[in-house]
Amino acid sequence: MARDIIVTLDVMLARRKMKAKDLAAAIGITEANLSLLKSGKVKGVRFETLARLCEALDCKPGDLLDIGETVSPSGPPRTAGSDGLA
């Protein structure tokens, strides 16, 4: 089972009253890439980019990332004996 990483960049942008366009320009990435990051559609982020985000937003990495609930790829957890085998 895996746990999802939740990107809370949009929350920090709102707290800082900053537009995504301005943040993208400040850290040197495209608005499209920032949008992908905000939506959580990226597989990873470089530490350098994360550091620039934190510097521009005056925050820590933990302010931008959170951990979600446990996700099971095969549905709900099974209990012992639920398959008819002892």
In terms of CATH architecture, what is 2-71? Orthogonal Bundle (1.10)
Domain extent listing, the chain? 2-71
pTM of structure: 0.76
Q: List C-alpha distances in Å: 43 to 5, 33, 37, 56.
A: 10, 12, 9, 22
pLDDT per residue, tens digit, the chain (86 aa), is: 788 999 999 999 999 999 999 999 999 999 999 999 999 999 999 999 999 999 999 999 999 999 987 656 665 554 444 444 44
